[in-house]
Chains A and B, each alone.
With several copies, the nearest count.
Chain A
Amino acid sequence: MDGLLTDLDVIRKDFPILERRVANDLPLVYLDSANTSQKPQVVIDAMVDQLENHNANIARAMHTLGAESTYAFEAARDKVAAFLNAPSRDEVIFTKNASEALNLVARTFPLGPGDRVVITEMEHHSNIVPWQLATERAGAELRWFGLTDEGELDLSNIDELLTPGTKVVALTWVSNMLGTINPVAEIARRAHEVGAVVVLDASQAAPQLPVDVQAVEADFVAFTGHKVTGPTGIGVLWGRTELLDSLPPFLGGGEMIATVSMEKSTWAPIPHKFEAGTPPIVEAIGLGAAIDYISHVGLDRIHAHEQAITGYLLDGLASVSGVRVLGPLDPTRRGGAVAFELAGVHPHDVAQLLDSRGIAVRAGHHCAKPAHKRFGVQSSTRASSYLYTTPAEIDALVEGLEFTKNYFKVG
């Protein structure tokens, strides 16, 4: 199969959990990577090394362990900056997840009555709800791009949506439900023409595409550690210096201050201004190791692998009667998360039946209720691959779906 990682066997060995046996001793077939990715040994080892040998609080500590921890934490920031091709390391802010990163922007970006924020109908709830709350607080207006029947953004009314009153355009780079890869550079260009800033949710892009914040001319980019083979508890907000400098603080507390008196406080420069309290230290270090790992494999190679596997998956699904895929059917125009319906069987039951065969998929609305509604479904089953996914695992899924149909006597 063209594009598959040639060293797939070796890569799989990097992930201890892939040895797990589940469901009466069947091998684990993990097809839920868009939900969270598995972790390679190097990430786990980096975290253990930090905890067993270097653990200390950062910045504030003057001693050897403190210096080691600070160095490792800040080195992780350098790695993220390089990963995103950020112009400056100070533009990289560590948050607890992508949701916090998006909320940070939505909470602090100045909006007033009559201002407009534009999102899309395929956003994850974490890029919808913060903007609903923000526009409601400000008396601003929330509008959105709709979707075509093929699951792409409907840009036909872009001139109507992007007006001089539009202050923010926030959208996902890759949809976690439909898989769609959006033309973010093009939308950013149009948004900038009306003076709006562009917030990109790269939660699903960062794991599988080269993400270059300068190339797409983004203003803010968010992603989450646990989907790029890093740990939970860590996310990233990147923003342009001028913008980050201009925003008021988000959370107040230790580390984000310049001085504090009982009457008044002043703020530290970025990135610290937005990092109140003890940051996720061991998590940032784990994320740094994860970024080293996937960069070492190569984002281009991972992307090719994802496309190959996704093509194979789409073919497999097409062979099962009663399956309807939600989202683009062309593997070169989409990411590796494929949501589908199986006629006559509810997604929960599909997932349960697959689980009984060791196959892990996700069932539900995948935190994208509006996108489901758009396609007239309440929930779906989603299979999502990553750099460790094999064609044989896709075969297992397809067989599992036939088994499911049999069990429920449909089709």
Chain B
Amino acid sequence: MDLDSLYQEIILDHYRNPHHAGLRDPFEAEVHHVNPTCGDEVTLRVHLAEDGTVRDVSYDAEGCSISQASASVMTDLVIGKQLSEALDTHGVFLELMQGKGQVEPDEEVLEDGIAFAGVAKFPARVKCALLSWMAFKDAALQASSKEETHA
């Protein structure tokens, strides 16, 4: 058990100073996700631009260092990206997390997210790292289907 591979400095930094925290207007979709095992929760909003850019992701999260830091890193990675690109990043992160520590993280794509490579070795914590990502995917898809309905 290598604690420091789990609690990388990057993670602890994001935990102490989460980016993009708080709930903001405007948004097209808001979701509430829980980790049923431990009760960690996140309320998350997605605001898409007309051209499909992720304009804003705002959130109110209650949870452990891993889940908090993950939300912070996620927002850094998806805000400003095209939705499709953001969902690709989601896919890459998911793969890293489900890789049982065998997947080599891609810094180009994941930036600070590579710090979570160590989390993949702690199965009980994988859900923590994924909570906000899953919420993002859910909200983003809701938001984009709303856009389509309007169009």
Contacts and interface: CB of A to CB of B under 8 A. Distances in A.
B151 interface: no
A124 to B, nearest CB: 14
Nearest to A23: B1
Contact of A67 (B34, B62, B63, B122): B122
A346 B3 contact: no
Interface stretch (B50-58, B101-109, B123-131, B142-150): B123-131
A71 B123 contact: yes
B125 A369 contact: no
B122 A352 contact: yes
A378 B124 contact: no
A255 B39 CA distance: 11
Interface string B15-51: 0000000000000000000101111110000000000
A364 interface: yes
B53 to A, nearest CB: 30
Interface residues of A, number: 35
B6 interface: yes
A24 B39 contact: no
B138 to A, nearest CB: 12
A348 B36 contact: no
A369 B38 CA distance: 10
B65 interface: yes
Q: Describe A's contact surface by its main secondary structure.
A: mixed
Interface residues on B, range: 20 to 34
A63 B122 CA distance: 10
Interface in B47-106: 62-68
A364 B39 contact: yes
A258 B34 contact: yes
B94 to A, nearest CB: 16
A315 B117 CA distance: 39
Contacts of A61: 124
A268 B125 CA distance: 18
A364 B37 contact: yes
B123 A70 contact: yes
Contacts of B67: 348
A273 B77 CA distance: 33
B124 A379 contact: no
A347 B36 contact: no
Given A346-B65, A378-B62, A365 B39 contact: yes
Interface string A3-24: 0000000000000000000011
Nearest to B32: A259
A256 to B, nearest CB: 9
A263 to B, nearest CB: 16
Interface string A53-73: 000000111111011001100
Contacts of A226: none
B6 A352 contact: yes
Q: List 3 A-B pairs, minimum CB-CB distance, nearest first.
A: A348-B64, A364-B38, A346-B64
Interface of B: 1, 3, 6-7, 12, 34, 36-41, 62-68, 122-125, 128
Interface of A: 23-24, 59-64, 66-67, 70-71, 255, 257-259, 268, 272, 346-349, 352-353, 355-356, 363-365, 369, 372, 378-379, 407-408
14 contacts: A23-B1, A61-B124, A66-B124, A70-B123, A258-B34, A348-B64, A348-B65, A352-B3, A353-B3, A364-B39, A369-B39, A378-B41, A407-B7, A408-B65
